[in-house]
Amino acid sequence: MFRSFSQSWDFTVASLRILGSNKRLIVFPLASLLSTALVVASFAVPLVVGGQLAQWANAMHAHRGLPRDPMFYLLLFLFYYLNYFVITFFNSALFVCILQAMMGQRPSVRFGLSVASYRLPEIAAWALFAACVGMTLKIIESTHRRAGQVVAGLLGMAWTAMTYFVVPVIVLEGVGPLAAVKQSLATLRKTWGTALVHNFSLKLPLTLILLPIYACGIGLVLLGRHGGNPWIAGGAIAGGIALFALGIGIGNAAETTFNALLYNFANDRPLPDFVKQDALGQAFVMKP
C-alpha cells in the first residue's frame, strides 16, 4: 500500500511538473468546466422555471424509478451527449498539447484547439456512443433499487477501465467509437489494467497537494456567507468558487497528463527525461 502511494505521488509530481512548465494548458480543463456548467444551466433553468423538473422528481419518488415521459429520456440523452462532447473535445486539445510538451516543444492553445477541431467528427461519434452507454447504465440502475445499482456500478467500473485510453486513440488514430474502445482496451492490457485503475490513482496525492487551494476556497465562501457588506460577500463567494474551479481544473489536467505518460509508456513513445521509466515499468508490468 505504501509503495503504491509512493509511486502515485511520484507520478503526480511528474504530471504537475509538466503542467507547471506549461501553465497555459490549464485553460483547457477550465474551459471544459465552464462549458459543462453552461450545459447544465441550459437544461436546468428552463426545466425549473417551467416546473417540469419538479414533476419528474415527484414521479421518480412515487414510482421509485425513472419517469415514463418520453421527453425526459430525450432531454437526458441530449444532456449526456453534450457533456461527453464538451469533455472529450477539451481533453483531446489538452492531450495534444501535453504530447508536444513531452517532446520538448512549446505547446500552444491554438494548436490544441485546431487538432481537436480537426477530430470533431470522431469526437461527435464518440459522444453519441458514450451517451448511449450512459443512458443504458442509467436505465439499468433504475430498474431495481439495489440490484440495479450494483450491476450498473460494476458495468460502469468496467466501462471506465475499457475507455481509459479512448481520448489518445481518437486524437492519434482518428478512428470510430468501437475501434477506439478496442485499441484502448488493448493498451490497457499491456499495462495490467487492474493495477492501473485501482492501485495507482492520482486522486489522493492530488487532493493532498491541492488541499491549500480548496481550504482557501472554503474560507472565502464562509467569509462571504457571514459578511455584512453584500459586495464583499459576493466577491468572497465568487473568489471561493474560482479557487475550487482552479483546483478541479489542475486535478483534471494532471490526470490527463498522467494518462498521456502511461499511453506513451505502453506504446514505446518518447517520455520526458525526468520521468522515471523504471518506476513506470515496476508499477505497470508490461504483459508478454
With beta carbons less than 8 A apart as the criterion, state whether 258 and 202 touch: yes
What is the per-residue pLDDT for 199?
42
| Residue 182: how many other CB atoms lie within 10 Å | 14
DSSP string for residues in 102-113 = HTT----HHHHH
Reported as a single tens digit per residue, the pLDDT across 60-70 is 766 666 777 78
The DSSP secondary-structure symbol of 145 reads T
What mean pLDDT, rounded, does the chain reach?
82
pLDDT beyond 70 at 107: yes
- The H helix count followed by the E strand count for the chain is 13, 0
Stated pTM of the model = 0.84
What is the per-residue pLDDT for 2?
41
Q: How confident is the model over 91-103, as a mean pLDDT?
A: 91
- Give ∠ CA 201-206-211 in degrees, rounded to 5: 145
What is the per-residue pLDDT for 133?
92
Q: How confident is the model over 124-134, as a mean pLDDT?
A: 94
pLDDT beyond 90 at 266: no
Q: How confident is the model over 174-194, as a mean pLDDT?
A: 81
Rounded to 5, what percent of the chain is helix, strand, coil?
Answer: 85, 0, 15
Question: What whole-number percentage of the chain has pLDDT above 90?
Answer: 29
Residue 108: strand, helix, or coil: coil
